[in-house]
Structure 1
Amino acid sequence: MKTEPLLSVRNLTTTFPGRRRAAPIRAVDGVGFDIAAGETLGLVGESGCGKSTTGRTIVRLLEPSAGSVVYDGRDIAHLSQRELKPLRKDLQMVFQDPHSSLNPRQTVARIISDPLLVHGSSASEARARAAELMDLVGLIPEHLDRYPHEFSGGQAQRIGIARALATGPRLVVADEPVSALDVSVQAQIVNLMERLQRELGLAYLFIAHDLSVVKRVCDRVAVMYLGRIVEIGDRTSVYEAPAHPYTQALLSAVPLPDPAAERTRERITLHGDPPSPASPPPGCPFHPRCPKAQSICHTDPPPLRTTTPDTPHQAACHFPETP
């Protein structure tokens, strides 16, 4: 029997008003996907495609303009802040820049304890829990009374993860959690997140632009372009048999460890810049840059559909590459 997903997003849209009577900006345009309990879904794409806005909208740091966000069977997209408060402990976020996301005027103990205090824990209980979390993420509990500037970038990100775990969440939105860190530190944080997922049963929405990291940590991958998901499927099928031309171009830019293979492989170069979300092109949003575009692509938006029968791999393309 198929179980219901922990998170189900349908037709999610987030629009920002334009400046000086300009057209509104549709940063997220009809996005939909599911995340099962204990699963990691990677959300990838170029800068400005709407990845971070999607993550922030799901946890209601931004307000959705339309669509539904069903968490554990309940639509939370349009709940009031009062109705949403009890659910916030289940939905947490890890931010891209650890130092800018930590209050420089608060000690680590206060940073980690605040979510617990908001949800009714006593000061002594919150501090004891903060010490446990410091140990859980590989830091010394004795450093609870230090301030964020006294830690390196990797240590600060561990503190951000500890804060996110304080309330015992079931779903964590990780917004570029390793992009601001050195490569060696990235590996440490990735290993930490994988260990915590195994131990705590967490589900992740892992937002990133580094496709090598996404391939390492994610069970499924969704590719975004201009606010829309253009391809989604399990990790193996997306990486080994990408169906959408945009996904193919992204993967062709990932360096290969074998120098000989790197020199001989075909590199797909996309010309031009992504269109503005304030004035998206008609038809397929990718057609101005697509090497396979034909007349139908200029007029008819392609739906997200399976590339081959009986597979969960989907692509929004009139002429997808099939295995």
Structure 2
Amino acid sequence: MTPPNAPAATARPTTALLSVRDLAKTFPGRRRLGRPAAPVRAVDGVGFDLEAGRTLGLVGESGCGKSTTGRMLVRLLEPTAGTIAFDGQDITHTPQRRLRPTRRHLQMIFQDPYSSLNPRQTVARIIAEPLLVQGGSARDARVKAAELLDLVGLGHEHLDRHPHEFSGGQAQRIGIARALATGPRLIVADEPVSALDVSVQAQIVNLLERLQDELGLALLFIAHDLSVVRRICDRVAVMYLGRIVEIGTKREVYETPAHPYTRALLSAVPLPDPVAERRRERILLLGDPPSPASPPSGCAFHPRCAKAQDVCRTRRPVLEAVGSPTRQAACHFPDSP
């Protein structure tokens, strides 16, 4: 039986650095007035592949499960079900001690640079800490920290300063330097620019693009800003209520979206041309996103979808190829290019 949200069987074969299949995470519900609450299925059968040196964008509304997915991939959260394979090795339930050698190749950049940096530590200590955990010497770790600061656009003269002495963009550069300390092959970037000013966002995106080209990194770029995702990503996966509803190349998803949710998200992205902005059709979604504690039957998007029919209310769609083997959508009535 095919997993409900795995890549379609017709997708082109790949040599994936990261391969995720039917990944799920369920949190226990909070008790209210002594009554047990329904469990929250934050991630519900996610599947995708990411090749070395490539970038996959994971987009969707707040609360759709993007960050939970990213944290499971680096094992900051334990998956409830599914598999995570990194470089051909299943790391889904590998004990933390045995996972340490793999962790040097799998790092994360967090959304809020200030909350992810220890305010009591110097920049040198923050960047060096992953190397010390991996068994490196303090002297070598400090030398490496200075090199990494230069790499991300901060001088080594900042080594002995503390996080509060830096702007948001500078602090995020320190977080990026820390993620690069162990020489990773894959970085999960969890909304790394959403807390920054627009002008600073462009600088950080440019930095990530340069680092990817120079170091051959694979990136899983989690974001809700589709303009940023379009700039940096090769492929895009759209999430809704814990599931991937569309995945394909950047050109396919942005120019010929197949899922109505993807079309609605893209219609909300501002256009630089005021005339085109006034003329284009805006797609307004009905109501609010459902609660993951009590998701709708059938297709989770059907209460907000103008195309919904009876089958959408009773049968959950699976990811299937639409128009090309590189693009799949989970919709009973997808828009064909």
- Report the TM-score when normalising by structure 2: 0.95
Is residue 2:82 matched to residue 1:67?
Answer: yes
1:266-304 C-alpha deviation (Å, 9 max, x unpaired): 000001111110111110000000000000000000010
Q: Does 1:126 align with 2:138?
A: no
Q: Is 1:91 matched with 2:89? A: no
Task: Give 1:239 deviation, angstroms.
Answer: 0.2
Alignment map for 1:1-323 (pairs within 5 Å): 3-20=14-31, 21-308=36-323, 310-323=324-337
**Offset of residue 3 of structure 1:** 4.9
Q: Mind listing any 5+ residue stretches in structure 1 that lack a counterpart?
A: none
State the AA in 2 paired with 1:67. Answer: G
Question: What is the CA-CA distance between 1:312 and the residue it aligns to?
Answer: 1.1
SS of equivalent to 1:92: strand
Counterpart amino acid of residue 266 in structure 1: E
* Closer, same or farther: CA 294–2 of 1 in aligned 2, 3 Å: closer
Letter in 1 for 2:335: E
**Structure 1 residue 179: Cα displacement:** 0.5
Specify the SS of the correspondent of 2:291: coil
Secondary structure in structure 2 of the residue aligned to 1:313: strand
SS at match of 2:326: coil
Distance 1:247 1:264 in 2: 19
Could you tell me which runs of 5 or more consecutive residues in structure 2 were left unpaired when the two chains were aligned. 1-11
- In 2, the alpha carbon distance for the partners of 1:238 and 1:122 equals 47
Q: C-alpha separation between the residues in 1 aligned to 2:71 and 2:13?
A: 28
Aligned partner letter, 1:7: L
Residue type of the partner of 2:88? G
Q: CA deviation at 1:311?
A: 2.5
Return the alpha-carbon distance in structure 2 between the equivalents of residues 269 and 190 of structure 1. 29
CA distance in 2, matches of 1:14, 1:109: 35
- Letter paired with 1:312: T
Task: Kindly state the Cα deviation for residue 9 of structure 1 after the two structures are TM-superposed.
Answer: 0.2
> Following TM superposition, where does structure 1 have runs of at least 4 consecutive aligned residues deviating by more than 2 angstroms?
none
Q: Name the CA shift for 1:160/1:238 in 2 (closer, same or farther; >3 Å).
A: same
Residue identity in the other structure for 1:242: P
Specify the code of the residue in structure 2 equivalent to 1:313: R
Q: C-alpha displacement at 1:211, in angstroms? A: 0.3
Name the residue aligned to 2:9. Answer: none
Cα distance, 1:107 vs structure 2: 0.3
Q: Work out the CA distance in 1 between the residues paired with 2:56 and 2:13.
A: 18
Kindly state the Cα deviation for residue 248 of structure 1 after the two structures are TM-superposed: 0.2
User: How big is the shift at 1:2?
Assistant: 5.5
Task: Give TM-score scaled by structure 1 length.
Answer: 0.99
Q: Deviations over 1:190-213 (max 9, x none)?
A: 000000000000000000000000
The Cα offsets for residues 229-285 of structure 1, whole Å up to 9 and x where unpaired, read as: 000000001000000000000000000000000001100000111111011111000
- Deviation digits for residues 88-120 of structure 1, max 9, x if unmatched? 111100000101110000000000000000111
- Deviation string, structure 1 residues 164-205 (Cα, Å, up to 9, x no partner): 000000000000000111111111100000000000000000
For residues 66 and 3 of structure 1, the distance between their equivalents in structure 2, rounded to whole angstroms, comes to 23
SS of the residue corresponding to residue 115 of structure 2 reads coil
Question: Offset of 1:4 from its aligned partner?
Answer: 1.7
Counterpart code for 1:262: E
- Equivalence for 2:4: none
Structure 2 counterpart of 1:139, which letter? L
What is the CA–CA distance in structure 2 between the aligned matches of 1:262 and 1:53, rounded to whole Å?
A: 34
Q: What is the one-letter code of the residue matched to 2:25?
A: T
Distance 1:191 1:234 in 2: 20
